[in-house]
Amino acid sequence: MCPGETGVGALAEKQEKRQNPQSRETLEQEPTRSDRKFSAECEQFTMRAMDDLDLDDQMRELLLASQREVQFELPLRRSDGSLVVFYGNRVQHDSSRGPFKGGIRFHPDIDIDHSRMLARTMTWKCALADLPFGGAKGGVNCRSRDLDRVERAAILRGYVDRIIPLLGVNNDIPAPDMGTNAYDMAVLFDQMTKYHQQEPGVVTGKPTELGGLSAREGATGHGVSHVTCLAAGEHDIDINGARVAVQGFGKVARVAARNLAEAGARVIAVSDSDGGAYSEQGLDIGAMLRIREDDDQARVADLAAGADAVSNEEVLALDTDILIPAAIEGVLDADSAASVCAKLVVEAANLPTTCGGDSVLRERGITVVPDILANAGGVVVSYLEWVQNHQRLGWSSDKVNNHLETLLDTAWNAMLEASRNHNIDYRDAAYRVAIARVVRARTLRGI
Ligand code: NAD
């Protein structure tokens, strides 16, 4: 909490909601924001950078449009014999810097608007990290946990069959996303092999036995902690002893929290969809992860014995040096941003800040490291997997992690330089660098 404000646990209504299994279900069913208003809001970050770069109307239109969008039905004969029809989509935003790259998401809310917004964000993320990729995204409106292994595989194979002419190692390379994992990528790889022969680089985020990288699983969290340390150094926050609050305790948040704790930070709060745990002395993240390893269904509240309960809203408002939203989209809106007390916000989740939230944080002088840099570690390591697959070589995890840090350092420096040279905040600087690179590629190619 900001000094002088209500203490942890004051929001009794939210506490009650957390303890109610019905509300847990509701939260888990709504981990994304797919409404058109949110998509339009997110477009504002792109528009601002395009204004800044003084782009003409034709170039703006090109950059906002997708190069290709497809939607299709995916009928599934379920294991119990019933028939259900899901819908899939793939949006390919821009390939001027290289093949399309982007995840395949399984989520009931995924629709073409959502994929369009995420595909465009991927283009900027790849360009900022200077990867030879453009952005794509796709998904199926199914709920992962409702499907058994056979059903998941049938959906994934159907997905590949519908869009196979659009996929390929130098065309469009899928990866895991929310609701999909390395084993799903193994199925995608197998199905694509039926069309493209043995080419491991057709998909990234694969199991290591099929040419994936062991560093991929933790890469996004590793990138988040690395960028957090860079930002802390720039803003005179000593990471050793810095107070850090993390919203989320999923794949990204767990690695980021562990790395920061190992670097000496005091991680005072983490959360999941049920709420979080708070300890002024700092949570023992290592111990929490060990319990979690034995019980992957354990909630944060079960992992941190003795810690205080805290709601997700309260995590965002804690008095900390660094706040890391690492759960879902749109959590920092104008209202919640007004309660943020951190000096630095590092966006580990995709699009955690709405345009309204961004304005409030900016007015309040709170530094934000944008998602397109903070969580780029995943796509950077996907790129390294693709490169190794091309070479038919395997690198050590140390080598992969060194490359990851070097590429993130370069992106960080490009953003910092643009921020200083043009007197703009980090988000505008990151978008400016990324969009200028895409414009340059498009112009050079005569588009
Ligand atoms: P995950 O599913 O492993 O974890 C998500 C976490 O958020 C869980 O702890 C979950 O309990 C929590 N959560 C869900 N609903 C919530 C709610 N309503 N309020 C608060 N917390 C809630 O996902 P992840 O892979 O860790 O991804 C987290 C974020 O990072 C997402 O925005 C994702 O798009 C983004 N991201 C992930 C990767 C990656 O490589 N995994 C890469 C780039 C961006």
* Per-residue pLDDT tens digits for 278-313: 999 999 999 999 999 888 888 998 899 889 999 999
Nearest residue (CA) to ligand 1, atom 29: 349
Q: How far apart are CA 303 and CA 225, in angstroms?
A: 22
Q: What's the predicted TM-score (pTM) here?
A: 0.91
In short, whether 350's Cβ falls inside 6 Å of ligand 1 is yes
206 flagged as catalytic: no
Instruction: Using the atom order of ligand 1, give the atom closest to the CA of residue 219.
Output: 40
Q: Please, what is the end-to-end C-alpha distance for the chain in angstroms?
A: 51
Instruction: Using the atom order of ligand 1, give the atom closest to the CA of residue 312.
Output: 20
Nearest residue (CA) to ligand 1, atom 3: 250
In short, whether 221's Cβ falls inside 6 Å of ligand 1 is no
Pair of tokens at residue 411: 């992106």
Q: Which of 227, 252, 314, 382 to mutate to test the pocket of ligand 1 (most atoms within 8 A of CB)?
A: 252
pLDDT at 260: 98
Pair of tokens at residue 174: 């899928």
Alpha-carbon distances, residue 116 vs 167, 275, 355, 369 (angstroms)? 17, 30, 17, 23
| pLDDT tens per residue across span 167-181 | 999 999 999 998 999
Nearest residue (CA) to ligand 1, atom 14: 273
Q: Compute the distance from residue 290 Cα to the ligand 1 centre, in Å.
A: 20
Contact 136, 388 (CB under 8 A): no
Q: Compute the distance from residue 328 Cα to the ligand 1 centre, in Å.
A: 5
Q: Which of 23, 117, 124, 178 to mutate to test the pocket of ligand 1 (most atoms within 8 A of CB)?
A: 178
Residue ranges in the chain whose pLDDT is less than 70:
1-37
pLDDT at 36: 64
Q: Compute the distance from residue 374 Cα to the ligand 1 centre, in Å.
A: 14
Contact 253, 327 (CB under 8 A): yes
Which domains, ranges and CATH numbers included, belong to the chain? Answer: 8-27+218-369 (3.40.50.720), 61-202 (3.40.50.10860)
Pair of tokens at residue 381: 């390591």
